[in-house]
Amino acid sequence: METGRIQAAAITGPFDLQSTLESGQTFRWRSADGETYRDAAPHGGEDWYLGLVDRRPVAIRWTGAALEWRSPDDPTEGLRRTLGLTESMADHLASLPDHPLVAAAERAFPGLRVVREPFFATLVSFVLSAQMRVERIHSLVQALAREYGRAHHLDGETVHAFPTPDRLAAATETELRELGLGYRAPYVRETAEMVASGRLTESDVAGREYEDARDLATEFVGVGEKVADCLLLFGLGYREPVPLDTWITTAIEEHFPEVAADSYEATSRGIRERLGPAPGVAQTYLFHYLRHRETLSGQGPATPS
């Protein structure tokens, strides 16, 4: 079970693997001990996470000083892209706006990064996300992979890829409902069919100016403005999107009341003007912080300055 050689790379600046992988940006990673999302607060994260990068299985863990991985290939470039390590931490943090709430989020989770995951997995994950908790989105994405995804093997562990569009399009609505998708089952099936048939694909959306890309993405079934923003932010590398979910909307009403508007589009425009050069990065910090600030004990990894 130790067939894979452990390799490692140092990362400059703070890095928080658990927060990055368990903050509702991606649902494709699971901890090897099966206790993903066991805790709200960061715990140092010395567990191995299993996932795929560039269609190959990878196990990764953060030691506190270096990123370690086991993989049959060299996943370095893909890992850097997936974990948001291609932008420097300095640039990453410098993109955050000067606002007390964002500053508190940065203090609480200084190593949080913005992930970049494959288009189709991100698309389906956030179609599933409607009216669901982060932990349950994760369990459903894992279930889809287990049921329909190709099985890879790594040091005795099985890692399932996210299903292809063809495979999901071939699933029946009944099958998907039995997995627990609820009313999202037909959305997932129809959206998969759109991609599989070429009716609307990644290449149609990518490369467009932000608002054009977002509007086009809403043609997928089960994709409205909010899910489209998530798709662009975590699956296509855009930095403008500020997904307006219940958490962010409440926070806007409390902390940015001047931009709280009636429509999604109006609120989106307003908040984007106030969240710095990379509004989506700031939103990612806010979302994670808002969900966990109640459970942040005074102790945590205190880093007195």
Partner DNA sequence: CTCCAGGGAGCCT
Partner DNA sequence: AGGCTCCATGGA
Which is nearer to DNA, 56 or 177 (by Cβ)?
Answer: 177
Q: Give the Cβ contact number of residue 145 at 10 Å.
A: 22
Tell me which residue of 292, 303, 239, 249 sits closest to 95, measured CA to CA.
239
**Residue 80 burial (10 A CB sphere; 0-12, 13-18, 19+):** middle
Residue 75 tokens, joined: 């996943």
How many residues bind to DNA according to rule CB under 7 A? Answer: 40
Q: For 43, which DSSP code? A: -
Query: Judged by CB under 7 A, does residue 287 bind DNA?
Result: yes
What's the closest the beta carbon of residue 220 comes to DNA, in angstroms?
7
The two three-digit tokens of residue 290, written as one number: 């808002």
Q: Does 80 bind DNA (CB under 7 A)?
A: no
Give the 3-state secondary structure of residue 63: coil
Best CA proximity match to 19, nearest among 79, 119, 109:
109
Taking CB under 7 A as the rule, which mask of x and - marks residues 185-224 in contact with DNA? Answer: --x------------------------------x-xxxxx
- The residue range among 6-14, 90-98, 125-133, 252-260 that interacts with DNA, by the rule CB under 7 A, is 125-133
**Least distance from C-beta 60 to DNA, angstroms?**
20
Nearest distance, CB of residue 256 and DNA, angstroms: 14
| 255 makes contact with DNA (CB under 7 A) | no
Please pick, from the candidates 105, 112, 227, 236, the single residue that binds DNA as defined by CB under 7 A: 227
For residue 252, give the nearest of 266, 232, 239 by alpha carbon. 266
Q: Does 177 bind DNA (CB under 7 A)?
A: yes
What is the closest distance, in whole angstroms, from the C-beta atom of residue 30 to DNA in the complex?
A: 16
Contact between 146 and 155 under an 8 Å Cβ cutoff? The reply is: no
Using CB atoms within 10 A of its CB, is residue 273 exposed (0-12), middle (13-18) or buried (19+)? exposed
Q: Which stretch binds DNA (CB under 7 A): 8-16, 78-86, 141-149, 245-253?
A: 245-253
Binding site for DNA (CB under 7 A): 23-25, 129-137, 177, 180, 182-183, 187, 218, 220-228, 230, 243, 245-248, 262-263, 265, 283-284, 287, 291
